[in-house]
Amino acid sequence: MNYWPLLGVAWVVVGFVLRANPVIVVVSAGLVSGLAAGKSMPELLAVIGDSFISNRALLMFAVTLPTIGLLERAGLREHALQWIARWRGLTLARLLVVYLAARQGLSTLGLIDIAGHAQTVRPLLAPMSESAANRTPGLQEHGPLPREEIQRVHALAAATDNVGRFFGEDVFLAFGAVLLIQGFYAEHGIQLEPLQIALWAIPTAIAAFVIHAARIVFFQRGLARRMGSRKSSRMASHAVD
Amino acid sequence: MLSIEHFYIVLALFLFFAGGSNLRERRYAHAAFWSLLGVLFATGKLVLAASKAGNPLPSQLAGAAVIVLALLATRMRREHIAEAPEAQRQASASRLGHRLFVPALLIPAITVLIVLFGKYIVIFGTPLFGEGSITLIGLALACVLAALAAVVVTGERPIRAASEGRRLLDTMGWAALLPLVLATLGGVFAASGVGDAVASIVSAVIPADSRVACVLAYGLGMVVFTMIMGNAFAAFPVMTAGIGLPLLIQQHGAAPAILGSLGMLTGYCGTLMTPMAANFNLVPAALLELDDPNAVIRVQIATALPLLAVNLLLMYWLAFK
């Protein structure tokens, strides 16, 4: 067994820790591993080229950008904000928990790319979350959110999309992960039906929903607390003035 | 008739447009980066065909181009490109109202319709949708139609769609390329035998008689390897062949369906915590223009760790009868 190709793994970890540009870290790690495995440079270049081109689908999200960009120019985010601001009883936590449930539910039906960071989070969910946070009782009294809190809300919106997607898609029969598991076992002489595999993803799907929904609720409470202490410290500093 | 290759050409044209815009603004590294990427997308089919026919030269050139892209990436700065003024966006928002949602919602709606019914569309005896994943073709076609709808709704000139798309693309910069180079790295690692080396080390160090130790080694191994590779799919065959199959299934009698499903989902907990899963963790941070590129990961860790614990317990309780 040749253990030297593991140098590439260490290279990646060190590169990320040192905060070097990730693209150069990743590409050079491939060179390190390939050379350590005893490949010649021409051979290695061919592997990199073929592998890159076979994975072109991963840039496909860029075709959504012209639509989203044009709609943003025409005021999509501003309209989403104003519209959500008119809903009664809407809070940040309610909006995100409903989104989590919908995202997970749709993913279990195989509707996985219906939503996503480019499709729904940037144009809709992120601005709606911000607007909902500004209208949430316990938050709206403190005025508009400061920039760093807006960034936290946006990050939570993106995280909610990921959790809903990941822990819904595995319940879908024809999803790649289920077929990968089935194919792996079939190669090793164990025959399984996709349904058997997909059903056992349900307990984790429920746990993921409960845990992340609870975190959303706690986030909202923590946000209210931070806004409150920000306000009182500002008033205290005014009092000193 | 319509294959994914057609849409790679569309994407290449968009990348050339982005390259040209940067060239005019004298951002030469960005111009070279997007243009070279466009060449790789436009010629991809030829490269793969040549490689299959036994001619490695085009693949080698593509590999060299990937290295040049990585070098160019170090020269690219992320900067916010000016948007339309806010007053103009507000006025347009109140004028257009809900009509603005229509093109955005067309993307998922058309994708789903094509996935469900696309195979029934036949023109002159040939199916409309040819080779390649129908979801991907559906998504790409939906985006083209949605862009047209957006042009109609907003009344802008079509070239505006390209220039606004380019604004978002340059906002993301090299981060847009990360998912693709990470997947490439996965291919190179597989070809270099990284997976076999990991499996051999792990199975040498764990006490194989203890069921708890094997469950922990399999689950945590899935998490760690997923975090390194950025992808549970790459970790699953390595860990299951190295630990799951010989130790948990054959020696301790775990049920394969339950172990496989929970093992994969345990890997997903790792996906939530790693910058290597760029398309889920770093791309949204770039898209949302967050100051901290790891902001999304920071939020996700507190969901991932309790869920990981739940998964390990489920594996221990459910997989063994």
DSSP for B165-231?
Answer: HHHHHHHHGGGGGHHHHHHHHHHHHHHHTHHHHHHHHHHHHS-TT-HHHHHHHHHHHHHHHHHHHT-
Q: How confident is the model at residue B300, as a pLDDT?
A: 97
C-alpha triplet A145, A100, B108: angle, nearest 5°: 100
On chain A, the residues whose CB falls within 8 A of the CB of B162 are 66
pLDDT averaged over every residue in chain A? 87
Neighbouring C-beta atoms of residue A191, cutoff 10 Å: 8
Question: Does B310 score more than 70 pLDDT?
Answer: yes
pLDDT band at A99 (very low <50, low <70, confident <90, very high): very high
Question: Does A184 score more than 90 pLDDT?
Answer: no
On chain B, the residues whose CB falls within 8 A of the CB of A151 are 288, 290-292, 295
**Same domain (yes/no): B164, B200:** no
pLDDT tens across B257-307, in order? Answer: 999 999 999 999 999 999 888 889 999 999 999 999 999 999 999 999 999
Q: How confident is the model at residue B101, as a pLDDT?
A: 86
pLDDT band at A118 (very low <50, low <70, confident <90, very high): confident
pLDDT averaged over every residue in chain B? 89
Whole-number percent of chain B with pLDDT over 90: 57
**Same domain (yes/no): B235, B152:** no
**Same domain (yes/no): B314, B206:** yes
On chain A, the residues whose CB falls within 8 A of the CB of B32 are none
On chain B, the residues whose CB falls within 8 A of the CB of A36 are 192
> Which of residues B62, B80, B98 is at a domain's end?
B80
Q: How confident is the model at residue A114, as a pLDDT?
A: 66
Rounded Cα–Cα distance for residues B182 and A26 (Å) = 6
**Residue B157 belongs to a domain:** yes
On chain A, the residues whose CB falls within 8 A of the CB of B182 are 26
More confident residue, B182 or B277: B277
A89 residue type, one letter: G
Question: Is B214 within 8 Å of B208 (Cβ atoms)?
Answer: yes
- If you measure CA to CA, which chain B residue comes closest to A53? B44
| Number of domains into which chain B is organized | 3
**Same domain (yes/no): B8, B94:** no
**Same domain (yes/no): B220, B153:** no
**Residue B235 belongs to a domain:** yes
User: Which of A71, A103, A163, A190 is the best mutation test for B, with the most CBs of B within 10 A?
Assistant: A71
> Which of residues B117, B145, B175 is at a domain's end?
B175
User: Which of B287, B297, B318 is the best mutation test for A, with the most CBs of A within 10 A?
Assistant: B287
More confident residue, B299 or B185: B299
Mean pLDDT to the nearest integer, A165-169: 91
> Which of residues B140, B175, B210 is at a domain's end?
B175
pLDDT band at B146 (very low <50, low <70, confident <90, very high): very high
**Residue B186 belongs to a domain:** no
Mean pLDDT to the nearest integer, B25-38: 95
**Same domain (yes/no): B75, B9:** yes
Closest-CA distance, A231 to chain B, in angstroms, reads 24
Lowest-confidence segment of A74-88, A199-213, B126-140, B236-250 by average pLDDT: B126-140
**Residue B183 belongs to a domain:** no
CB contact under 8 A, A114 and B260: no
CB contact under 8 A, A52 and B184: yes
On chain B, the residues whose CB falls within 8 A of the CB of A146 are none
Domain of B39, in residue numbers? 4-80
Please report, to the nearest 10 degrees, the dihedral formed by the alpha carbons of residues A103, A108, A111, A113 taken in order: 60
Question: Does A182 score more than 70 pLDDT?
Answer: yes
Question: Does B63 score more than 80 pLDDT?
Answer: yes
Closest-CA distance, A232 to chain B, in angstroms, reads 26
pLDDT band at B212 (very low <50, low <70, confident <90, very high): very high
**Residue B76 belongs to a domain:** yes
CB contact under 8 A, B165 and A16: no
**Same domain (yes/no): B49, B106:** no
**Same domain (yes/no): B70, B98:** no
User: Which of B71, B102, B185 is the best mutation test for A, with the most CBs of A within 10 A?
Assistant: B185
Q: How confident is the model at residue B57, as a pLDDT?
A: 95
Q: Own/partner pairs for A231-236, CB < 8 Å, 24+ apart? A: A231/A142
**Same domain (yes/no): B234, B285:** yes
**Same domain (yes/no): B207, B260:** yes
CB contact under 8 A, A45 and B59: yes
**Same domain (yes/no): B212, B111:** no
Paired residues of B2 in beta bridges? B129
**Same domain (yes/no): B112, B46:** no
CB contact under 8 A, A26 and B89: no
**Residue B188 belongs to a domain:** no
